[in-house]
A and B are shown apart, each in its own frame.
Chain A
């Protein structure tokens, strides 16, 4: 409470400490945003975003909005971004994403337009707000920032607030249908059954050979050869057409040395 009162007192005109914090954090926030876009590694991108969001959280607190600032840090930075990182780690990070732009002029025009819009908005806002005094903050925060928010959420926007639950349900349903595969009961096999099946006579218990192993050709359509020299059809994908090996394919090519 004390903190918020102090902040309230500080609102209205920008004093030394606030200005200093802003000018230190603002470049970091911008750099974080740029870093997120430019980083080649998805994990790095996510971390850059975390930096940016942290800075934003601090800005909110500085602007006398402690609640939204904390939410920003706890929910976005703390929960959502960490979840993001987990997912990235689980899926496996792959830094070899191609960043070569195939569309001619795309990057150039994108940068131009981005800078253009920023300039346009920047200049417009600077002109619009340059000489206007912020006002209304004291009244809005009169009963405390959190109470003020609650007052809005639970009176005027209570209906909309309830409606956002529809959004959450939709999101949950969406996650289910896009990610969940339901196995039919007969498809479910217990571990012992699986093991028994694996060592049944006629099954080859070791991992499947990769295509091209012991082979004389590097096409994925060429079956691997088992150590005894016979081709194994387990090594090729079912959707590929089987390729009959001609005698020329089978014949040694003088590369065995």
Chain B
């Protein structure tokens, strides 16, 4: 009672990427208050980009140092953590380019004042004239910072806080679409309600695990699993609850239900952000949870989560078949991809880890490029996402149709694209781990999934362009940059993947302290 509180030793260098992003976000909020509206967009955009680049530099500098567990045992800055952080930051930069784009339509993809009632005169007026809200930049920064923390959290409680920190800005961002605002607001509300529901499960799980292990950090849980006297029921029910919370974010069936609606309703740049970065974060967290804390329950996890993975892959692929909206199609494809990623998680091996990380990066780039194309195909009412409107796009704008074809082929896993190398790595790791049944389901699901992709390809190239085929906008510099980065990365990771594979292998394994 008389010993003084000793502040834990915080390794600021190791934490600096997160601190930079949080700092930039706070400055961004201040910018909203004090910088004139006219130049706010430019200031916010450059500030955010600078912040991300600085964070990336700090991540890379940290990469050459030893693994650090800082803030006592709360945060673990280790090889995989740094790799995932770098992935989130790089993908975040590309998404930010899409978010910051303003030349495709007046004022960008975001609504100016979300409080104006949708579909009123005032709303139509602001959709046509005013520039979009710039609060999206600090919100994005908060989300990305939360994701970094989520990937490096070494403790269930930290993980929960990080989960909320990156979820809340995403809920908000979803509600800010300029067009089809009712859909967007509905999506945000659904995401928020269901997200809270899933968080509750996660929290319940933490409580049960605490009851079992008496601790919430992963290393202690691992120790407790070896020698705790408490009943294993607590452990397994708690683990199931934790898994539910994480599988919700990862969009695994049957916790995927929010995905199509949210992907469709959210502004497309935000959808891209969610598809690329949230996926990295969710699986980064899941990987650490399983690999550090619960790897001794491998067998049970493989049975239960393996079933979830099979259902996810198959249901995602089957439902993708009848989609008629390109964003929903990509949403279901993202669900199926979550299933493939679960294979990597369930391998519980070094190869499983490195192949999952490779997959996350490869998929992130491809999906960003895909949504970049979606933002380009538009008519007077904004984006034309209904598939029938894409018929004959190949005749109208061969360049973008070819790019999109390439991206779809990458999704389908054709050799020479990153989709192939990524899937190959994951399947190989799963076979190594003896999970052949999962791989069989994965191959079947990829085969089914190739059908909707190819249908879009056929529709774009072999159908005659109709009256309603929209034109493709000439992309602004930033969308063009995002599209080029995504496509080139998809190609390079397909043709010469060894560089990144080496990086994932070099990242080593999660530290467990």
A177 within 8 A of B: yes
**For the complex, would chain A's binding face be called helix, strand, loop or mixed by DSSP majority?**
helix
Mark interface residues in A117-156 (1 if CB within 8 Å of B CB, else 0).
Answer: 0000100110111001000100000011001001100111
Given A128-B231, A159-B71, A173-B135: A182 touches B5 (CB 8 Å cut-off)? no
Q: How far is the CB of A114 from chain B (nearest CB, A)?
A: 12
Q: How far is the CB of B32 from chain A (nearest CB, A)?
A: 8
B26 within 8 A of A: yes
Contact A127 B231 (CB under 8 A): yes
Mark interface residues in B137-168 (1 if CB within 8 Å of A CB, else 0).
Answer: 01100100110010000000110011011001
A248 within 8 A of B: no
Mark interface residues in B15-28 (1 if CB within 8 Å of A CB, else 0).
Answer: 10000001001100
Contact A177 B115 (CB under 8 A): yes
Given A124-B233, A128-B230, A159-B71: A178 touches B165 (CB 8 Å cut-off)? no
Contacts of A158 in B (CB 8 A): 7-8, 10, 71
A181 within 8 A of B: yes
User: Please, how many angstroms separate the alpha-carbon atoms of A132 and B214 in the complex?
Assistant: 13
User: Please, how many angstroms separate the alpha-carbon atoms of A178 and B10 in the complex?
Assistant: 36
Given A127-B231, A129-B231, A158-B7: A171 touches B168 (CB 8 Å cut-off)? yes
User: Please, how many angstroms separate the alpha-carbon atoms of A2 and B407 in the complex?
Assistant: 69
Q: Which residue of A lies closest to B133 (CB)?
A: A177
Contact B74 A159 (CB under 8 A): yes
A170 within 8 A of B: yes
Contact A178 B168 (CB under 8 A): no
B226 within 8 A of A: no
Given A136-B214, A166-B146, A170-B165: A154 touches B71 (CB 8 Å cut-off)? no
A189 within 8 A of B: no
A12 within 8 A of B: no
Contacts of B164 in A (CB 8 A): 167
Contact A177 B165 (CB under 8 A): no
Contacts of B171 in A (CB 8 A): 174
Contact B231 A169 (CB under 8 A): no
Given A128-B230, A144-B1, A238-B121: A166 touches B71 (CB 8 Å cut-off)? no
Contact B233 A159 (CB under 8 A): no
Contact B157 A160 (CB under 8 A): yes
Contacts of B157 in A (CB 8 A): 157, 160
B239 within 8 A of A: no
Contact A174 B168 (CB under 8 A): yes
Q: Which residue of B lies closest to A120 (CB)?
A: B237
Q: Which residue of B lies closest to A179 (CB)?
A: B115
Contacts of A174 in B (CB 8 A): 139, 168-169, 171-172
Contacts of A125 in B (CB 8 A): 233-234, 237
Contact A167 B10 (CB under 8 A): no
Contact A177 B114 (CB under 8 A): yes
Given A129-B231, A173-B138: A154 touches B165 (CB 8 Å cut-off)? no
User: Please, how many angstroms separate the alpha-carbon atoms of A163 and B142 in the complex?
Assistant: 10
User: Please, how many angstroms separate the alpha-carbon atoms of A163 and B15 in the complex?
Assistant: 12
Contact A150 B5 (CB under 8 A): yes
Contact A167 B168 (CB under 8 A): yes
User: Please, how many angstroms separate the alpha-carbon atoms of A156 and B74 in the complex?
Assistant: 7
Contacts of B230 in A (CB 8 A): 128, 132
Q: How far is the CB of B223 from chain A (nearest CB, A)?
A: 15
Contact B237 A124 (CB under 8 A): yes
User: Please, how many angstroms separate the alpha-carbon atoms of A127 and B231 in the complex?
Assistant: 8
Given A157-B157, A159-B10, A170-B168: A177 touches B135 (CB 8 Å cut-off)? yes
A200 within 8 A of B: no
Contact B115 A166 (CB under 8 A): no
Contact A181 B113 (CB under 8 A): yes
Given A174-B168, A177-B114: A127 touches B146 (CB 8 Å cut-off)? no
Q: Which residue of B lies closest to A140 (CB)?
A: B214
Contacts of B214 in A (CB 8 A): 136
A239 within 8 A of B: yes
Q: How large is the interface on B (under 10, 10 to 19, 20 to 34, 35 or more residues)?
A: 35 or more
Contacts of B146 in A (CB 8 A): 163, 166
- The number of chain A residues with a CB under 8 A from chain B is 38
Determine which of B5, B115, B161, B211 lies in contact with A181 in the assembled complex, contact meaning CB atoms within 8 Å.
B115
Q: Which residue of B lies closest to A126 (CB)?
A: B233
Contact A156 B172 (CB under 8 A): no
Contacts of A124 in B (CB 8 A): 233, 237
User: Please, how many angstroms separate the alpha-carbon atoms of A132 and B168 in the complex?
Assistant: 38
User: Please, how many angstroms separate the alpha-carbon atoms of A144 and B6 in the complex?
Assistant: 17
Mark interface residues in A23-34 (1 if CB within 8 Å of B CB, else 0).
Answer: 000000000000
Contact A147 B165 (CB under 8 A): no
Contacts of A121 in B (CB 8 A): 237
Contact B172 A177 (CB under 8 A): yes
Contact A170 B169 (CB under 8 A): yes
Contact A170 B74 (CB under 8 A): no
Q: How far is the CB of B216 from chain A (nearest CB, A)?
A: 10
Mark interface residues in A41-52 (1 if CB within 8 Å of B CB, else 0).
Answer: 000000000000
Q: How far is the CB of A63 from chain B (nearest CB, A)?
A: 13
Contact A154 B7 (CB under 8 A): yes
Contact B73 A178 (CB under 8 A): no
Contacts of B443 in A (CB 8 A): none
Contact B72 A155 (CB under 8 A): yes
Contact B162 A163 (CB under 8 A): yes
Contacts of A128 in B (CB 8 A): 230-231, 233-234, 237
User: Please, how many angstroms separate the alpha-carbon atoms of A173 and B175 in the complex?
Assistant: 13
Contact B175 A163 (CB under 8 A): no
Q: How far is the CB of B248 from chain A (nearest CB, A)?
A: 16
Contacts of B225 in A (CB 8 A): none
Q: How far is the CB of A145 from chain B (nearest CB, A)?
A: 12
Mark interface residues in B102-124 (1 if CB within 8 Å of A CB, else 0).
Answer: 00000000000111100111000
Contacts of A95 in B (CB 8 A): none
B43 within 8 A of A: no
Given A143-B1, A181-B115, A182-B113: A166 touches B142 (CB 8 Å cut-off)? yes
B: residues with CB less than 8 A from A are 1, 5-8, 10, 15, 22, 25-26, 29, 32, 70-75, 113-116, 119-121, 133, 135, 138-139, 142, 145-146, 149, 157-158, 161-162, 164-165, 168-169, 171-172, 175-176, 211, 214, 229-231, 233-234, 237
A-B contact pairs, 12 of them (CB 8 A): A125-B237, A128-B233, A156-B72, A157-B71, A159-B71, A159-B74, A163-B162, A173-B32, A174-B171, A177-B135, A179-B115, A181-B113
Q: Would you list the 5 A-B pairs with minimal beta carbon distance, nearest first? A: A128-B231, A128-B233, A159-B71, A156-B72, A174-B172
With A128-B230, A170-B168, A177-B172 already in contact, 10 other A-B pairs whose C-beta atoms are closer than 8 Å? A128-B237, A155-B7, A156-B74, A157-B158, A158-B8, A159-B10, A163-B22, A164-B165, A174-B169, A180-B113
A: residues with CB less than 8 A from B are 121, 124-125, 127-129, 132, 136, 143-144, 147, 150-151, 154-160, 163-164, 166-167, 169-171, 173-174, 176-182, 238-239
